[in-house]
Amino acid sequence: MMLRFYRYRFLFEAAGALYFPPGKAGNIVRGAFGTLFRKIACVPGCGDAGSCEIRGECAYAQVFEPQSEAGQGLSGYRDWPRPFVLRASHLGSWKLEHGDRFWFDLHLFDVKRPVFPYFVLTFTRLMEEGLGPGRGRARLVEVRQMDWAGNGDVVFDGGTYRLREARGPLELRVDGGEEGVRRVRVEFRTPTETHGTGSSRIRRPGIRRMN
């Protein structure tokens, strides 16, 4: 079984003082992201993305409220997980001044729909409006599509998309090949809520081995 996803790196330039408190960089980046994404992607007057008649064509519904077509998602749940991950933990405790540059990564697992431009537009608007303590502002300089080795090709140069130069998604085999998988090693970098049958649990940062 192959897991396919795109890895993008968003590079920004601070337009003033900007600070990311320890352990909260990811929350700050995600803070108003969903609300702003919906304003950009949804049609005016949409009250419920879950029951919207055009949810199959709506980028917000597919990204933030994905549903299984068969009525059952992974692990028996009705809804599928959101098909993206933001990686910004390295920004914790960073203090930036005007002109300083910073970055974070987006892993996008929806490889069938052209939702990437919505992320670009949303992050551009979000940084213009300000984020974090003091509502520091920034400018999106470029977005690169990264490979496994950490090399990247520019797919957005701050004003123009260059998607014709984009490569296919990265592929990761997750079934362990012919021998299968008997044990998984998971490292929780931030507090994570996991769900089981009829219960949920907060996992603290650390390494867990699961049989």
Distance in angstroms (rounded) separating the CA atoms of residues 187 and 182? 17
The set of residues, in sequence order, having a beta carbon less than 8 Å from that of 25 and lying 6+ positions away, is 88, 89, 90, 91, 92, 94, 104
**Burial degree of 196 (CB within 10 A; 0-12, 13-18, 19+):** exposed
- What would the two tokens of residue 164 be? 């014709």
Distance in angstroms (rounded) separating the CA atoms of residues 37 and 25? 19
Enumerate the β-bridge partners of residue 86.
Answer: 106
Question: What count of Cα atoms within 13 Å lies in the side-chain half-sphere of residue 140?
Answer: 25
**What is the full per-residue pLDDT of the chain (211 aa) written as tens digits?**
788 999 999 999 999 999 998 888 888 888 778 889 988 888 777 777 777 777 778 888 888 888 766 555 455 556 788 899 999 989 989 999 999 999 999 999 988 888 999 999 999 999 999 988 888 999 999 999 999 999 999 999 999 999 887 889 999 887 766 676 677 777 776 667 666 655 666 666 666 655 5
Give CA separation, 47 vs 51, 64, 83, in Å.
9, 14, 22
Is 68:98 a contact under the CB 8 Å cutoff?
Answer: no
